[in-house]
Amino acid sequence: MAGVGFELKKLFTARTAAGHIRAYSYSAIITAGPFALLTGMVLAVQLLFRHFAVPAESVQVFVAAVVYAFIFSQILSSGFTMVLTRYLADSLSLARYKDITASLFGSAALLSALGGLLALAFLWGRPLAPLTKWLAYLFFALLLLSWVESVYLTAIKKYKRLLLSYLAGVAVSITLAAQLLGAGWLPAEQSALLAVDMGMALCVLLFLWHIAACFGLPEDGMNFAFLPYFERHWRLFVIAASYAAGLFLPNILIWFGPWGVEVAGTFRYSPVYDVVTFYALLSVLPLMMVFVVSVETNFYQRYAVYFSHITRKGNFRQIEDARKDLLHVLWFELRHAAELQLVFTLVFLALGSYILSRAGITYEQVNMFNVLLFGAFFTGLLQLIYILLIYFDYQKDVLMVSLFFLASNLVLGVLGLCWWGEQSYGFTFFLAAAASFVVAAWRLDHFASRINYLVFCSQPVFYQPPHGLLTRLAMRLYGERYVDLERERREEP
């Protein structure tokens, strides 16, 4: 979360209630903003569907298009955004601001091209109306851009402007949807997709404006100088991609089971399971919000002290004291986040059971929601351990846990779909998440008990960056202008 911590620390050190409220609010904007934006738009449009008595088939086309765009944009972009975070951190530390916006343009172009190819392969020959295909693809492409921009938004401290940008996008979507549905110029699903496309497009443009205002336009920057990072940090790419795939794999499997519904000869989705899963995942937003604050204001201070003693020739006593302080804060903050999230999970358990039962959801489906809540709880904690281990560049073990999470969801999901039946839906996701959390906690404890050895002895004595195809491509594109940011950062005094 490059750049967020400085602002949060300033607010917390003010030691006022207003400062604390603003700090948590800013954290919420960064961590929950995109998800809350999508939630608000979709729920509002569905209420408008009910108000205008839109046919069920049109509603299903809209919901299925949004579900597909959200899930597959997350899976496709997550690996890219993880690697870009590393590149952004190096660019900021070396004050190479002109390359920051350039990398945004380059990564957006690369993701848009890949997303376009995937969308073309999926939509080609489908019986959807051409305009519906284009509007569905546009929403998918805009989500890809928003996920990429979210990496760069963490380095911007104009949080009020970011909040206003989110609100502007939601307002435009809802207002335009009401106008188009009322006018009846287009089919209902096309009117709704056009409205959310316009709202997302406004957000993407406003975010780009904020980023360009902070770092400048890429006049002479290197748009694809980040490509070598995919060779050096391929594990980060696989970690993020496999986590996102494991998170949504149960949904995709259930689409092809008894609960799956085919929509307009194009989409398959599960209206009940997808909606219930969506609400269950909302319950972990407080966990991420609080953890961002605690990591940036408490944990990172001890982290910086520990490594400053190592790199600046601190004595053994200084290093040992810093190690104890660091590990104490690490376990304390992790335990604090887990306890707080457990409270929110129980609140969602109570409120969700009441609200969903009144919304026409069956008793069995409400029970599935309750199980999914605890699956989301363990998934959120799993992500926190990922972040902590990646702070220490312990990528091999995080990769192992991430692949275990994906494989366990695949195996248990197939068992539930083919043999255990509908009563296992949700429970297989809970089992996979809980087992993965246990494995991740074991690896974190293993690292913490050997932190000095792993920090001192597991690192190469001489840094030799990979010199593969992507590195050679970047050097060919930019020649003498190309700068190895990692080497420059390692050679800093």
Are the C-beta atoms of 195 and 180 separated by less than 8 Å?
Answer: yes
Per run of 10 residues, the mean pLDDT along the chain (length 493 residues) is 41 42 48 65 84 89 91 92 87 81 91 94 91 95 90 71 80 92 90 93 91 81 86 90 93 90 89 84 78 69 82 80 88 87 88 70 78 92 88 87 96 91 88 96 91 73 69 83 70 55
User: Tokens at residue 441, please?
Assistant: 């906690």
Nearest by Cα to 206 from 93, 32, 37? 37
Are the C-beta atoms of 353 and 366 separated by less than 8 Å?
Answer: yes
Helices marked H in 124-233 — which ranges?
A: 130-153, 159-183, 188-215, 228-232
Instruction: Quote the pLDDT of residue 381.
Output: 92
Instruction: Quote the pLDDT of residue 14.
Output: 43
* SS3 state of residue 262: strand
Instruction: Quote the pLDDT of residue 12.
Output: 40
Q: Can you tell me the distance from the alpha carbon of 138 to that of 193, in angstroms, rounded to the nearest whole number?
A: 9
Q: How far is CA 321 from CA 151, 305, 326, 354, 427, in A?
A: 34, 10, 9, 50, 44
User: Tokens at residue 170, please?
Assistant: 């939601």
Q: Is-above-0.75 flag for pTM?
A: yes
Q: How many CB atoms lie within 10 A of CB 127?
A: 7
User: Tokens at residue 299, please?
Assistant: 């944990």
Instruction: Quote the pLDDT of residue 7.
Output: 43
Instruction: Quote the pLDDT of residue 219.
Output: 72
List the domain boundaries for the chain: 1-232+466-493, 238-459
In the chain, how long is the greatest CA-to-CA distance? 74
DSSP string covering 145-171: HHHHHHHHHTT---HHHHHHHHHHHHH
DSSP state of 227: T
User: Tokens at residue 344, please?
Assistant: 């929110």
Instruction: Quote the pLDDT of residue 17.
Output: 40
Instruction: Quote the pLDDT of residue 277.
Output: 86
Nearest by Cα to 276 from 344, 336, 362? 362
Q: 159-180 burial, b for 16+ CB within 10 Å, e for fewer?
A: beebeebbeebbebbbebbbeb
Are the C-beta atoms of 61 and 134 separated by less than 8 Å?
Answer: no
